Amino acid sequence: MAKPDNRADNVEHLQNNINNTIENLEESEEYLAEHADEISPDEKQQVASKNERRRNSLESFRSEIKDESAFQNEQS
């Protein structure tokens, strides 16, 4: 028998993911700023690409939070 869908803490988990992603994004931008002259162009591009994916993830997480909030409001 399948467990019922418990979405009570989804917003909290999504917010934690957002916070972690922002922290990683900021750390990698600081790394680039401090070591830009020491790293290869390929590594710079890899970090920049990863940061772009992080920005896209942030948009998705925020959209999911809106969806979860709407769902929880409907259930109230």
HEC-encoded secondary structure of the chain: CCCCCCCCCHHHHHHHHHHHHHHHHHHHHHHHHHHCCCCCHHHHHHHHHHHHHHHHHHHHHHHHHHHHHHHHHHHC
Digit-coded pLDDT (tens) for 55-76: 999 999 999 999 988 888 887 7
Confidence of residue 52 (pLDDT cuts 50, 70, 90): very high
Does 54 score more than 90 pLDDT?
yes
Amino acid 32: pLDDT:
93
Q: How far apart are CA 39 and CA 67, in angstroms?
A: 40
Q: State the amino acid at position 39 in one-letter form.
A: I
Digit-coded pLDDT (tens) for 3-42: 776 777 889 999 999 999 999 999 999 999 999 999 999 9
